[in-house]
Chain A
Amino acid sequence: MVSIETSENTSADANSVQGFGSFSRRNFIRAAALTGSIVVVPGFLAACGSPKTAPTNAMLRVGWKSDIDTFNPFTTVTTEAIEVQSLIYDKLMDYGTDLKIEPSLATSSTAAGNTITYVLRESVTWHDGTPFTADDVVYTFDLIGKNQLGINAQWLTDYQSVTAPDAKTVVVAFKAPQAFDPGLVIPIVPKHIWEAKTVEQIKKDTNASPIGTGPFKFEARTQGQLVSVTRNDTWWGKAPSAIGVSWSLYTNDDLQAQALKNGDIDIIPQVAPTVFDGLKADKDLTSVALDSFSFHHIGVNVSKVPGSKGNPLLLQREIRQALGYALDRDQIVQIAYAGYAKAAASILPPSFGDSYWEPSADQAINNNPDKANALLDAAGFTKRDSKGIRQTKDGKALSFRIIAISSTSVDVRTAQLFQASAAKVGIKLTLAALDSDTLASTVYNTDAPDWDLFVWGWDSGVNDPSYLLGVPLTSQIGGNNDVFYSNPEYDALYTKQATEIDPAKRVELVKQMQQMFYEDCAYLIPVYLEKLQSYRTANWSNLTETPGGIVFNFTRDNYLKAQAGN
């Protein structure tokens, strides 16, 4: 190699630079040449063949875009980590591919009054061979309930106690009836492993080798690269066809799409819209656009605190409604989202099934400039300036500021389209694009919010209406409530639905809330997002196109039912 020739040439020369310890210039060059060839040579040798791998044909290989945080169910927040944990840990109850509730570690769950009673499955063992008992369930619920640990603590705010009257029954008592069964989201952890740790230790534990009762056992994790699990052959349910599942990290959308085409991975749960058309054209792949549990919205500052610097005109419902009538949702879907989204209305996306409320044609507050003009005329904004912008009686322009995250191009585009349609009814919007941190701290400035309108979105982390419906609660001002909406009637309905254990009655309350919030127009929701996914048809079959996604959803069933080969 060239570099070796160099070292020979220099060694022939007697002219060496004076000392630097024993590390003369000649030695430096020699060492460099040697190291260079050591590093480079294997690379070229290797070009002859790639290493053997474990059989991957029955391994379900997922490609994802962001790394997981931790395997600790009491501190984790990322979708990716919750996905992996859902295969390692079982919950008491779970969702099927139709998102209907199914038994899991518990064979039944019964809510009565303030308690929920679970009857546990028998002869289940942990991955380390220890038998699973009612004590494990008691330990898990008590740990979260008493210490309010992690994201699942929100389901145990009314928690009172948990008991095991016999070896296969667990009774959880609450201060009020619970409409949502927390058994659906809480992964059950082994008491014999966790009880040795204090709460403070648990908060800082990474749980690097998780032990669960689930259908897959933890195998390996390389941070920033790969996570893999292998099939648990002693699992209580029907053995999955996949011998394992792996999740590889790709930081680049094009590279990830290429890996799917090459067959390096089997499924991409979050396909970027820019590469989706390319994947759709590939005959080896099935590419789907599924309903999701997310929306993007335009928030309106309705804060009534004395320090609020929002335009006080927005406290008038008619003006907010006029903005709603000006908004053209179909146009935003077509132009800002290139068709990969659905025109929206209520705060709950249609993926919530029965709970979803849709306005009738005459209830719809959407793309109706005549109605907007009528509302504004009636509110007294009849004067217009030379550019057609409406004015108050004392000559102030009807003008608002709108902010969006500069790197979220769909939001910026949405704001621009909204600007144009608002101008048509005589409302001036001034757009400023900010980075996401600045936007978040501007919006969430509870004591003195200095903004009028903004654009961003929410995603429901749970298959229950309570999370999204809970965002605009008065009690969430200072928390999630990003528009400072406060409506005692809405708050009362929320409490009522959260404690209503009759599903049909609850749906009625939930729909009433959605309509109330929709008509108040503190949120103008232009779109429900779609989840774009793509998988290799030749490698896997029997995957159900569940709303919310084949994988990366509230159900893990597609991992269990996927059939290797076709």
Chain B
Amino acid sequence: MANPMMQAAEFMQAMQNELHKNLTRWSNWMSDFIVSPAEPPMAQTPRDLVWKRGKIQLYRYPSQAAQRQPLPYVMVPWLGISRPYILDMLPGHSMIEYLVQQGHEVYLLDWGVIAEEDKNLGLEDIVFKILPRAIDTILALSQAPALNLNGFCLGGVITNGYLSLHPDAPVRNYIAIVTPVDFEQGGLLKTWLGHAAFPTDLLVRQYGGIPTSLMGMGFKMLRPTGDAASLSGLWFNMNKKDYIPIYKAMDRWANDFVGMPGRFFSQIQHELYAQNKMLKGELMLQGRRVNLRNIQQPMFVAAASKDHIVPPLAAKGLLGAVGSQDKQFMELPGGHISVFAGRQAHTMLWPALHAWVVERSAV
């Protein structure tokens, strides 16, 4: 048995250290949350607005490396729910910054702040009009023969639809990150949105879509202890000065919800969550069947092991449904967002993605 005196001394030392940490925590809290509560500036990677349609904006982030990658890298984020600036969160913690530093010319399609006037925006408009035009613009600007296409979350549903309905699309490689495809495996969202009692039509009729407040409430409900866990994490790490700006940035983004167009939500709820039509090959857009087998590009699929929005099995379903021969699946530790924007993404997902794309991008 250990010497009780030694144990007591060690305990006192630990208490003293903890007291010191607590003083630092209070001091940092005063300085960073009371005296200067401003959030750190986000989305700092230099960019140009190169195309605009309504609220939809296409940004170009020029390559920052001496050796430029031959094909542009196009990011299609989720439509509605939240803003895509998490992809360029803070200098040193930004996926876009990482890619441009590796020589990629990155393009980001920002859907803007969705509101009631966008209620008629549906998958058809995006798949047949908006995305093809954005891609035309990118090819004209970059003078490249093809591009690398990266869909995130529901943005992946859009890119899946686009590639299935445009088998001749100028896309060399396809990357789907936390993209739901097998909606039967969609976790809590499948249980709620897939249930016949969910009043989608009434909601769309009344609000024209999902309003911001409801979107926020829905996502908070998915993880009711999320805010408590996040605040606890902040307190435990408050003594580390470099933790605070990342917390502030993440917290701002995590509470900056946007709505979703009624028509798009209706399609996602009725056709995908309730009936899983995309995976079954039954989804019709403008009278044409979305056949995932038409996707022939080399494919990289990433999922997060603790994703409560798109569980790994929901994302993995894409691999078996497409016609691609060259397929890679990566299940990484982390949650829905942290897998591509968290601290570990810098050492795990981004380098793997860069290496995979470079290997397949020779012109």
Binding between chains A and B:
no
